[in-house]
Amino acid sequence: MRKLLLFTMLVLLVGGGAAMAITVDEAVALFQGSDIMIPYSDEGRATLESMLEAFRGALAVPDELDEKAEMDVTNFDVDLAHKDIVNKLSQTYYTLADAFLAGDPEERNTYMKGRNWGFKSLRMNPDFVAIEGTPGDSWEEFVEAVNQETDIDALYWAGANWLRWGEFNPVRAVAAFITHQTDAISKRCLELDETYMAYGSYRALGAFWAGLPRAVIIYYRKTFTRSLGYFCHIVDEPEICAEWDCDICPELGEFDPTVDEYFENRVFFVEYYLMQREMWEDAKRILDQVLSESIGEEFPLYNAISQEKAATFLEEVEEHL
């Protein structure tokens, strides 16, 4: 019933592909579980854009504030009572870029805005600031600050946006120690709540280790054993997961079958692991599974996105069979 009410609200808010102004309370009501309750459509995009305006308005963000500039956002005064709104602003920027801006000139800038608001939320914690010191001075102190942080919303969305931003130039990400910092964020999220965002940090770390540049010596390099170790927490593939023994692999019987309800878990596994390792038959089998299942009501946005990606990947996979 609640989902129906939210979608009814959405119909009232959106018309003809252009979103009407919505209040911050209406924007907050569209968050539920691991998804924002909007359709994967032009109307959904318009609603996300209206949500951004509602959150920016609630925080009194002036038009002249450069949200792409980390320190401009960090130094912008926000009342601690609005920390949750800052976190939701970070998530909404991520969702807009990830769902609707692929290939758009503003895609990377949008991830940076989301990353900066995530960092803003982290730095609203005086304990984080005390450990981190001057932002940008030391990645080690940043990691130390992350390791004591308890706001999983701030951590997760800061990290998610930063990982996506770093994918545009993985070599630079390694050289700038972004890998060290995002790795620490994802691992801290696992410590706080491994189920957050449908086991999202396992998904992020699986993609992370498969998406790094190849190198011979350095620790942060493409490493399929680590990638598989994280993915095996979120895919029910015992034969594949038995391929390598690793210290991060789940114990037999630990797999949670509900992870299949969030299609992106399996689609990420195909994209970042199976296709890179040219395991075409397994990739086709899993993509066929995803495409045969109902999107359902719990994850309307991301299951629709995942099915679209699955159809695209399947075309490439079938060329290799």
* pLDDT tens digits for range 248-266: 777 655 678 889 999 999 9
pLDDT given at position 7: 45
Report CA-CA distances (Å) from 279 to 7, 131, 269, 272, 273: 39, 44, 11, 11, 8
| 215 alpha-carbon distance from chain centroid | 26
pLDDT given at position 17: 47
Q: Please compute the mean of the pLDDT values over residues 152-163 and round it to a whole number.
A: 97
d(CA 273, CA 202): 13
Report CA-CA distances (Å) from 74 to 80, 186, 207, 262: 13, 21, 29, 33
| 114 alpha-carbon distance from chain centroid | 11
* Inter-residue contact 299 to 32 (CB < 8 Å): no
pLDDT given at position 207: 96
How large a percentage of the chain has pLDDT more than 70? 91
d(CA 107, CA 216): 32
* pLDDT tens digits for range 71-90: 999 999 999 999 999 999 99
> CA triplet 49, 193, 155: central angle to 5 degrees?
45
Burial class (CB in 10 A: 0-12, 13-18, 19+), 250: middle
Lowest mean pLDDT among 18-27, 152-161, 233-242: 18-27
Q: Please compute the mean of the pLDDT values over residues 130-158 and round it to a whole number.
A: 95
pLDDT given at position 254: 67
Average pLDDT over the chain, rounded to an integer: 91
Report CA-CA distances (Å) from 33 to 153, 184, 198, 262, 286: 12, 24, 9, 11, 25
List the beta bridge partners of residue 14. Answer: 19
Q: Pseudo-torsion of CA 255, 260, 261, 262, nearest 10°?
A: 100
Q: Which residue has the higher pLDDT, 289 or 6?
A: 289
pLDDT given at position 35: 84
* Inter-residue contact 33 to 27 (CB < 8 Å): no
Lowest mean pLDDT among 161-170, 194-203, 297-306: 161-170
* pLDDT tens digits for range 1-34: 444 344 434 444 444 445 568 999 999 999 987 7
Report CA-CA distances (Å) from 320 to 138, 197, 312: 46, 33, 14
pLDDT given at position 20: 66
Q: Please compute the mean of the pLDDT values over residues 113-137 and round it to a whole number.
A: 96
d(CA 54, CA 89): 9
Element of type H or E holding 140 = helix 139-146
For residue 56, the SS3 value is helix
What Rg, from alpha-carbon coordinates, does the chain have?
20
d(CA 131, CA 275): 41
* pLDDT tens digits for range 183-216: 999 999 999 999 999 999 999 999 999 999 997 6
Between the two ends of the chain, the Cα-to-Cα distance in Å is 44
pLDDT given at position 86: 98
d(CA 59, CA 24): 10
pLDDT given at position 249: 72
pLDDT given at position 169: 86
pLDDT over 80 at 239, yes or no: yes
d(CA 238, CA 129): 43
pLDDT over 60 at 156, yes or no: yes
